[in-house]
């Protein structure tokens, strides 16, 4: 299958690209940063801002499916990256007759998501980090989901929990709407998306993904995902 990966040079996009190539897919790695990804057998690079309709249209032409791992940083200012890119991508898919779309969202998009047995997370981390510091980001994620839900595409909204780095795919669990857990390794997120691309268990619904076999060091996760990125 020939797939377009948006955000291919991002943390999750890199896992997606490498795993897709390893399983025999042809990948169009879409990035807005020239020179950030080198072409090689099975991998072509398309330079495009995901919010630019013309550039997105050119990147999607000739593909069989689109996987979006686009991301943005927390900001006090309004964020539009998710919803604007979703509009450009879905409109281009309609023009080219590409039906299958998997887009990374977040468990936070489910208003009822409260992982069991996670008192500190539910009552301290989630209200402070996700609902306050990440408010504008998650508001735009919800707008993105609404844009996608209005289409006639075969879409899947992929909702991980707290993302962390782990070098290899481990045990993970998926569930409709959201999954009952606090953390998701990016390698597992990528693997779940590629599996869903083939197996189509969650077409036109949301798929929660959590890692079950390993847990991150919390202090290291906060440093890498919050402080170090700024």
Whether the predicted pLDDT of 131 surpasses 70 = no
- Tens-digit pLDDT profile for residues 77-100: 889 999 999 999 999 999 999 999
Report the C-alpha gap between 216 and 224 in whole angstroms: 11
Amino acid 72: pLDDT: 83
H/E stretch holding 43 reads strand 43-47
Angstrom distances, CA of residue 24 to CA of 19, 21, 138, 143, 159: 9, 5, 34, 33, 25
Whether the predicted pLDDT of 133 surpasses 90 = no
Indicate the SS3 state at residue 223: helix
Average pLDDT, the chain: 90
133/42: higher pLDDT: 42
This prediction has a pTM of 0.91
- Residues 6 or more apart from 30 whose CB is under 8 A from it? 4, 5, 6, 7, 8, 45, 46, 48, 50, 56, 59
Report the C-alpha gap between 94 and 179 in whole angstroms: 30
Amino acid 230: pLDDT: 47
Report the C-alpha gap between 167 and 72 in whole angstroms: 22
- Tens-digit pLDDT profile for residues 94-114: 999 999 999 999 998 998 888
Burial of 173 (0-12, 13-18, 19+ CB in 10 A): middle
């Amino acid at each position: 299958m020939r797939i377009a990966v948006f955000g291919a040079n991002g943390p999750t996009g890199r896992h997606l690209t490498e795993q897709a190539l390893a399983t025999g897919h042809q990948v169009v790695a879409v990035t807005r940063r020239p020179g950030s990804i080198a072409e090689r057998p099975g991998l072509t690079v398309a330079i495009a801002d995901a919010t630019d309709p013309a550039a997105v249209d050119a990147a999607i032409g000739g593909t069989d499916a689109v996987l979006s791992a686009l991301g943005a940083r927390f900001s006090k200012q309004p964020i539009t990256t998710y919803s604007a890119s979703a509009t450009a991508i879905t409109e281009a898919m309609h023009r080219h007759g590409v039906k299958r779309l998997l887009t990374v969202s977040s468990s936070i998009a489910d208003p009822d998501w409260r992982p069991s047995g996670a008192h500190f997370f539910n009552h301290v981390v989630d209200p402070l980090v996700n609902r306050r510091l990440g408010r504008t980001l998650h508001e735009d994620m919800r707008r993105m989901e609404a844009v996608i839900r209005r289409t006639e595409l075969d879409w899947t909204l992929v909702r991980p929990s707290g993302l962390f780095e782990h070098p290899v795919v481990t045990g993970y669990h998926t569930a409709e709407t959201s999954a009952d857990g606090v953390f998701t390794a990016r390698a597992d997120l990528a693997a779940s998306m590629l599996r869903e691309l083939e197996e189509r268990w969650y077409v036109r619904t949301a798929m929660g993904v959590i890692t079950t076999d390993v847990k991150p060091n919390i202090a290291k996760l906060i440093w890498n995902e919050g402080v170090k990125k700024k």
